[in-house]
Amino acid sequence: MANSLMASGIVAQRLNAEELASNFSDLHPAYAPHEAAVAADRCYFCYDAPCTTACPTDIDIPMFIREIQTGNPEAAARTILEQNILGGMCARVCPTETLCEEVCVRETSEGKPVEIGRLQRFATDTLMAAGVHPFERAALTGKRVAVVGAGPAGLACAHRLAMLGHEVVIHEAKPKAGGLNNFGIAAYKSTDNFADREIEWLLQIGGITIETGKALGPDLSLDHLTSGFDAVFLSIGLAGVNALRLQGEDMKGMRDAVDFIEELRSSSDLSTLPVGRNVVVIGGGMTAVDAAVQSKLLGAENVTIAYRRGRDAMPASGFEQDLAAAKGVKLMFNVMPVALKGDGAVSAVELEYTSVIDGKVTGTGETIELPADQVFKAIGQTLRGAPDGLSLDGGKITVNEVGRTSKDMVWAGGDCASGGDDLTVTAVAEGRDAAMDIHAQLTS
């Protein structure tokens, strides 16, 4: 396999260790205390602040920024963490440019918002560095809850339940917890093993056990969980990947973007990670951008994102699009793949130009061929492994506003559940809100 990859132009060690370290350094370096004070001083501390309304976890943003301004970042962190226990990671990966910062009054009046995400990171990092966990468990209830999946929704649900006095067992399929925070986002957004450190800090609440290598299936059925626990919360994510449905999709050099990102995030030495010379990423979301940018940072010479609709329809934010362009990634719009070329290994992708008529993408008949020794699919993920007996909506588990499923005493949240955006911050809100409803049911 290694020889065939090398023959096709997919090789490791395109860059030296120093170049890789620089390329994968922190995208948004942390504020120093003086910088944070200056940034906080720009906030107008609005009444009925639009930034708070725009936050999926309802953080009181003016409050925490004022606490930073008055020299109390630890209090600011508590204000954040009361609503979003993964506030440190969300400060790094949340698309603040399309949420809280987009509606900031400074943005609408001056074109430069208060840097809410970096201020949130300053507060939560300060608290974590002090080794402080600001929450204590309530009196034990004697109730046990199973959480399936240790991603953002599962961790947020588990922490809130533990804080309320319940015992929680998290069943996680992968070798370690974290979900997308550990395996699914670009490495330059979360450096220095922050995801692991945040989980270790979160578990200081007590009452949470994580069992890895445990996935829903013959050995861990929903019936088994509902009979052995008082309630169950499912946060199993989206493990399946949509197919291009093109001949040659199984050729060498074709990969799912999510698998590539996971391999990169799990690598202890990026110089050993092979990457192509000419890389094409099919898709237009955050995963496509993360795969494309990281390919470029690993040393790929030509990287192209091919998206079937126009720029305005691209799911990745304007900030992410600009980031990709700044890193040397070419963005092509209104093109879709129609053929993969190669003899055993991909050597080119044929793209057809598209137009959008009545919301439907239609090929124009005009095509272009791009050389490609590596192609990543990033065209969406699908639910895989949902237990039988649960209602589905649009390919996801049907839930109400607090995460209840069609099965009694079973809740769900995060990417696997219907409704909401597939964002870390949304998953945290759904896990937290489900925990509150579970608590109400268990103690009524």
DSSP state of 393: E
pLDDT at 202: 98
Q: Which CATH number fits domain 241-380: 4.10.780.10, 3.30.160.100, 3.50.50.60, 3.20.20.10?
A: 3.50.50.60
pLDDT digits (tens, 9 = 90+) for 32-59: 999 999 999 999 999 999 999 999 999 9
Place 5 in a pLDDT band, splitting at 50, 70 and 90.
Answer: low
* Residue linked to tokens 């050099």: 253
pLDDT of residue 325: 98
DSSP summary character for residue 45 = -
pLDDT class for 7, splitting at 50, 70, 90?
very low
Query: Which residues, in sequence order, are CB contacts of 111 under 8 Å at separation 6+?
Result: none
Q: What percent of the chain is predicted at pLDDT more than 90? A: 93
CATH code for the structural domain at 144-239+383-443:
3.50.50.60
Q: Give the pLDDT band (50/70/90) at residue 2.
A: very low
pTM, two decimals, is 0.95
Nearest to 239 by CA among 255, 256, 251, 220: 256
Distance of CA 391 to the CA centre of its chain: 25
Range list for CATH 1.10.1060.10 in the chain: 33-129
Tell me phi and psi for residue 27, to 5 degrees: -65, -40
Is pLDDT above 60 for 6? no
Question: DSSP assignment, residue 70?
Answer: T
pLDDT value at 4 more than 60: no
Nearest-angstrom CA–CA distance, 151 and 431: 10
b/e per residue 36-63 (b: at least 16 CB within 10 A): bbebbebbeeeeebbbbebbbbebbbbe
Supply the pLDDT for residue 8: 62
Sequence ranges of the chain with CATH classification 3.50.50.60? 144-239+383-443, 241-380
Domain with residues 33-129, CATH architecture: Orthogonal Bundle (1.10)
pLDDT band per the 50, 70, 90 thresholds, residue 127: very high
DSSP 8-state assignment for residue 24? T
pLDDT of 157 higher than 90: yes
Grade residue 217 by pLDDT with cuts at 50, 70 and 90.
Answer: confident
* pLDDT tens per residue, range 274-332: 999 999 999 999 999 999 999 999 999 999 999 999 999 999 999 999 999 999 999 99
Beta bridge partners of 443: none
**What is the spatial distance between Cα 223 and Cα 212, in angstroms, rounded to a whole number?**
19
Does residue 388 carry a pLDDT above 90?
A: no
Confidence of residue 1 (pLDDT cuts 50, 70, 90): very low
